[in-house]
């Protein structure tokens, strides 16, 4: 593969004739000679397209989002293309004074915690279970997890809507078999608590594979001798888990927890589809609320303010996640 | 750890008089028998878990392939009989199906090609160069992945409408690109870091330029990583809904996710056709995903497991 062709002229801007180029690859290997300015520019040229794209389509909109939240943009300004009037902190003051906004924040937090607890508990149990089963059962479980992982969110939401359908849903039928339960024609979305149970079920069903597979991969890093030794020494299974197994997989656990929390906090699709594009106010979470304020009510600035608050709240999670990665030495 | 040492001392003080070999053999047989019993119970639990997890998928397929009369039967039947393709015919005959497949494929391909072209360069820089600002760049790459798409819809919509790119596939591709890029860079960086740098160095000693070493040595070795990354982005683009919904208004440019959702509203409770549509939407994704899952999972988990 590595054909030693005739030495080619270098394509670099500073085409100094080098019959044989010094091996310049590893980070430490160039320590011997101070690199020329052109050589030093290479990595920056390489990351330039990525940086530019991120700045243009992500950085600019982020700034714009913040600006927008200090203005008062309505449909009129959007179509006329005129600059919306400056509103200062008015949007923020309005949402802060609105009890409904705080209700939505609380609901979003509760939803995130509920999804996180259920997902992580189930994923941990599944990952531990996968260590105990026979190889063919493990392969089956992995196959099922991957198939579910691959399901598009919209497909999952559609299927769950059909499963809990009031008239012919199989869930109602199954629950109706329970003694004393009457689930005939039961509408799950009439009561938001029950509706959110279904939504949490979809979210957990979709998130569980990623979490379980990652945790299972992390579990393979636990030295069996350590656990065996603890067991020989008389530690109970719960003690072995708490003091031997969990410390080893903790980085992975923290990472998966933060990631799922971040995803769930900004959840939109599942709710949007479960309520067929017209969520009732009881079903608003921050993502849905911001979207509806902007695109259904056409109060773009109010929607932007809600989005800014959402992003700020999410930053807390992001900091935890990035710190964890940095601590693991992955982001050096 | 503290428990281990504590219980060790307790254990040794109690059993030092015993000859060690006998204890070991007794312990292992007991453990093995216990493990055997446990593992059979664990197997059952594992299979039960599989059944519960797989049930929604099974029910989707069952509904998609069974005649309408059976879909509404009470009590429902849990086994397939008289399979039919009528729902698939109805779903595919809906007028926007093929145009949405086309739009999704175009958007997916555009996103993947551009994000690979740009991303592989940045990933190469991260994996093979030390430069000032490298750490800052990594932090940006990581934190950008945390920004929820839904939060940025408004300014992105305004930006693209200023640029005249709303209701155009290009606008959607640009947006997806930016949301895929950080992940692409991060994943490819891992793949490149896994390829021994000595190979490129040897090529350069033999007279290759850095560019040639990259092209002729690294790229061929990176091919599996490129495939895994591109399929992952393709799947993401195929599944995305909100942005496409906001940005694309003409019916002939709608993506598959939009098609599936509009299907729910127009077909109401025609669950046979809806499940057929869901199956069609999921099929390419599941097939692709099965191909690369191991690699992507390894790449994702590498960050978590290492150290």
Q: Do B50 and A153 touch (CB under 8 A)?
A: no
Q: Bigger pLDDT: B87 or A83? A: B87
Q: Considering the domain boundaries, does residue A132 fall inside one?
A: yes
Q: Bigger pLDDT: B28 or B213? A: B213
Which of A141, A170, A266 faces B46 most closely, judged by CB atoms? A141
Which of B152, B185, B281 faces A155 most closely, judged by CB atoms? B281
The percent of chain A in helix, strand and coil, each rounded to the nearest 5, is 70, 0, 30
B279 pLDDT exceeds 80? yes
- CATH among 1.20.1300.10, 1.10.3720.10, 1.10.260.40, 3.40.50.10320 for B94-305: 1.10.3720.10
Contacts with B60 from chain A: Cβ below 8 Å: 155, 159, 162
Which of A234, A256, A290 faces B11 most closely, judged by CB atoms? A234
pLDDT tens digits for range A98-130: 999 999 999 999 999 999 999 999 999 999 999
Residue B140: what pLDDT?
85
This model's pTM is above 0.90: no
Q: Do B11 and A50 touch (CB under 8 A)?
A: no
Contacts with B235 from chain A: Cβ below 8 Å: 150
Q: Please tell me the distance from the alpha carbon of residue B187 to that of residue B218, in angstroms, as a whole number.
A: 15
Q: Considering the domain boundaries, does residue A172 fall inside one?
A: yes
B265 conformational bin, left if phi > 0, alpha if psi -120 to 50, beta if neither: alpha
- Domain-wise residue ranges, chain B: 21-84, 94-305
pLDDT tens digits for range A163-210: 998 888 889 888 888 887 788 888 888 898 999 999 999 999 999 998
Q: Domains in chain A: how many in total?
A: 1
Q: Please tell me the distance from the alpha carbon of residue B68 to that of residue B147, in angstroms, as a whole number.
A: 43
pLDDT tens digits for range B16-68: 344 444 444 444 444 444 455 567 888 999 999 999 999 999 999 999 998 88
Q: How far is A201 from chain B (nearest CA, A)?
A: 11
Instruction: Give the domain range for residue A200.
Output: 101-298
Contacts with A329 from chain B: Cβ below 8 Å: 306-307
Residue A34: what pLDDT?
61
Q: Considering the domain boundaries, does residue A96 fall inside one?
A: no
Q: Considering the domain boundaries, does residue A224 fall inside one?
A: yes
A77 pLDDT exceeds 60? yes
How many Cβ pairs closer than 8 A exist between chain A and B?
Answer: 376
Q: Considering the domain boundaries, does residue A142 fall inside one?
A: yes
Q: Do A310 and B152 touch (CB under 8 A)?
A: no
Task: Mutate one of B51, B150, B190 to test the A interface: name it (highest A CB count within 10 A).
Answer: B150
Q: How far is B297 from chain A (nearest CA, A)?
A: 7
As a whole number, the mean pLDDT across chain B is: 79
Q: Do B146 and A315 touch (CB under 8 A)?
A: yes
Shortest CA distance from B58: residue in chain A = A159
Q: What is the 3-state secondary structure (H, E, C) of chain B?
A: CHHHHHHHHHHHHHHCCCCHHHHHHHHHHHHHHHHHHHHHHHHHHHHHHHHHHHHHHHHHHHHHHCCHHHHCCCCCCCCCCCCCCHHHHHHHHCCCHHHHHHHHHHHHHHHHHHHHHHHHHHHHHHHHCCCCCHHHHHHHHHHHCCCCHHHHHHHHHHHHHHCCCCCCHHHHHHHHHHHHHHHHHHHHHHHHHCCCHHHHHHHHHCCCCHHHHHHHHHHHHHHHHHHHHHHHHHHHHHHCCHHHHHHCCCHHHCCHHHHHHHHHHHHCCCHHHHHHHHHHHHHHHHHHHHHHHHHHHHHHHHHHHCC
Q: Bigger pLDDT: A1 or B228? A: B228
Q: How confident is the model at residue B106 (pLDDT cuts 50, 70, 90)?
A: very high
Q: Please tell me the distance from the alpha carbon of residue A10 to that of residue A22, in angstroms, as a whole number.
A: 13
Q: How far is A250 from chain B (nearest CA, A)?
A: 9
Shortest CA distance from A308: residue in chain B = B151
Q: Considering the domain boundaries, does residue A123 fall inside one?
A: yes
Residue B36: what pLDDT?
54
A5 pLDDT exceeds 60? no
Q: Considering the domain boundaries, does residue A154 fall inside one?
A: yes
Q: Tell me, what CATH number does A293's domain have? A: 1.10.3720.10
């Amino acid at each position: 593969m590595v054909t030693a062709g005739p030495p080619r002229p270098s394509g670099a801007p500073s085409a100094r004739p080098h019959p044989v180029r010094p091996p310049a690859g590893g980070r430490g290997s160039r320590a011997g000679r101070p690199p020329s300015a052109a050589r030093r520019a290479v990595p920056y040229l390489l990351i330039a397209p990525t940086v530019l794209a991120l700045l243009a389509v992500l950085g600019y909109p982020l700034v714009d989002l913040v600006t927008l939240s200090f203005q008062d943009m309505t449909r009129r300004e959007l179509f006329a293309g005129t600059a919306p009037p400056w509103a200062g902190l008015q949007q923020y003051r309005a949402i802060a004074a609105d009890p409904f906004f705080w209700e939505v924040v609380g609901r979003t937090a509760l939803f995130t915690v509920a999804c996180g607890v259920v997902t992580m508990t189930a994923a941990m149990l599944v990952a531990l279970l996968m260590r105990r089963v026979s190889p063919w059962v493990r392969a089956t479980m992995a196959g099922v997890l991957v198939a579910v992982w691959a399901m598009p969110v919209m497909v999952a939401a559609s299927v769950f809507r059909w499963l809990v359908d009031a008239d012919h849903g199989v869930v109602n039928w199954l629950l109706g078999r329970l003694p004393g339960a009457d689930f005939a024609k039961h509408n799950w979305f009439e009561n938001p608590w029950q509706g959110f149970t279904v939504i949490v079920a979809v979210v957990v069903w979709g998130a569980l594979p990623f979490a379980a597979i990652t945790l299972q991969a992390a579990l393979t890093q636990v030295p069996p001798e350590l656990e065996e030794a603890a067991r020989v020494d008389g530690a109970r299974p719960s003690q072995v888990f708490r003091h031997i197994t969990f410390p080893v997989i903790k980085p992975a656990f923290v990472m998966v927890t933060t990631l799922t929390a971040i995803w769930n906090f900004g959840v939109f699709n599942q709710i949007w589809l479960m309520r067929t594009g017209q969520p009732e106010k009881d079903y608003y979470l921050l993502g849905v609320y911001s979207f509806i304020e902007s695109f259904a009510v056409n109060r773009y600035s109010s929607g932007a303010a809600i989005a800014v608050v959402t992003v700020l709240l999410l930053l807390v999670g992001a900091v935890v996640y990035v710190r964890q990665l940095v601590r693991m030495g992955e982001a050096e | 750890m503290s428990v281990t040492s504590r219980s060790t001392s307790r254990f040794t003080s109690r059993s030092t008089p015993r000859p060690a070999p006998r204890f070991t053999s007794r312990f292992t047989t007991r453990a093995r028998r216990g493990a055997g019993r446990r593992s059979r119970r664990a197997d059952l639990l594992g299979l039960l878990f599989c059944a519960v997890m797989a049930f929604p998928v099974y029910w989707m397929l069952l509904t998609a392939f069974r005649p309408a009369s059976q879909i509404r039967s009470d009590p429902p039947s849990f086994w397939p009989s008289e399979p039919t393709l009528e729902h698939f015919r109805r779903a595919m005959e809906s007028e926007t199906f093929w145009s949405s497949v086309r739009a999704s494929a175009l958007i997916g391909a555009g996103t993947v090609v551009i994000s690979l072209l740009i991303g592989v360069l940045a990933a190469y820089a991260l994996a093979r160069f030390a430069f000032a600002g490298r750490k800052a760049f990594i932090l940006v790459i990581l934190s950008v992945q945390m920004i929820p798409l839904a939060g940025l819809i408004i300014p992105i919509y305004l930006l693209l409408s200023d640029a005249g790119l709303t209701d155009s596939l290009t606008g959607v591709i640009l947006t997806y690109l930016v949301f895929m890029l950080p992940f692409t860079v991060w994943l490819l960086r891992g793949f490149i870091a896994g390829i021994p740098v000595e190979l490129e160095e040897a090529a350069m000693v033999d007279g290759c330029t850095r560019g040639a070493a990259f092209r002729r040595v690294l790229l061929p070795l990176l091919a599996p990583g490129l495939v895994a990354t591109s399929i992952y982005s393709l799947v993401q683009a195929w599944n995305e809904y909100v942005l496409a919904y906001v940005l694309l208004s003409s019916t002939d440019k709608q993506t598959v996710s939009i098609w599936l959702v509009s299907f729910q509203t127009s077909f109401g409770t025609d669950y046979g056709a809806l499940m057929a549509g869901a199956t069609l939407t999921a099929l390419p994704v599941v097939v692709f995903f099965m191909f690369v899952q191991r690699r992507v999972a390894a790449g994702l988990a590498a960050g978590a497991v290492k150290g």
